[in-house]
Structure 1
Amino acid sequence: MGKILIAAFIIFLLIWANKIRIYLKWQKKAEADNKPFYRWPESVHQEPEQRKRLRQAQAENFQVEAVGKSGGKICRMKAASDPDFYFVALGICQCPEFKETHKPCKHIYRIALNKGLIQAAPEGKS
């Protein structure tokens, strides 16, 4: 009876060790997926123009389509005020605003908001 309990306990430990390994691997992948957004320092998001873009990302309606087998990392996105769809990822966007400033646009902010990487801009603040 004692050997059976020891064997069961060892199996239990092996199962939990495997679950922990899988969880840590998943956690590492999730962090890697979010890295492109963190290339901008927090001070960038506090600039008045960036706060405006963040409020736009909150307020506007967006059409979003996943692209191919990217696992949701790349999408086609169009805000209500946009003339066209743009390809967007957390670190890059095809819209003219991003090409000009190289800072997060409303499209990137929308993805970041959806993923919980940034807090919503308070109303009435610049």
Structure 2
Amino acid sequence: MNMKRTLNELVRAVVDEAERNPEFARRIEEALGLQEKPKKPVLSRASHRRAPAALDPVELARRGELELRARLAELNLEQLKDVVADYGMDPGKLVLKWKTADRIIDRIVEVSIGRARKGEGFLSSGSPRSE
């Protein structure tokens, strides 16, 4: 079996299962970044934890970079850091040490656009090419 046929059969099997199983479809959408992961319930946060994000940067990124940047510009430095922390945008724990809002906004925009576009390659509007 060639690679193209194997991949086509795999995709067909995933689509068939997603059509039959709403929970599976939700998990696929979540994995592709088409649906946000549900927030875990907040159990008593320790005093050293940051506040929840004031906005959803990935959803705003889906509407466009200009809108995302405009909304981020309304936030103060601590609120920007809350967004970074709440959305896991600082795996190396460096961004939270930054002192300039513009630098933090650039990082949020970069990560949010990447997440908003995740999976777009699977959603191209054209029909699959045939060989």
Asked whether the two chains share a fold, i.e. TM above 0.5, the reply is no
TM tier, smaller: under 0.3
> Normalising by structure 1, what TM-score?
0.27
> Normalising by structure 2, what TM-score?
0.26
Question: Greater CA radius of gyration, 1 or 2?
Answer: 1
Greater strand content:
1
| Greater RCO (CA < 8 Å, at least 6 residues apart) | 2
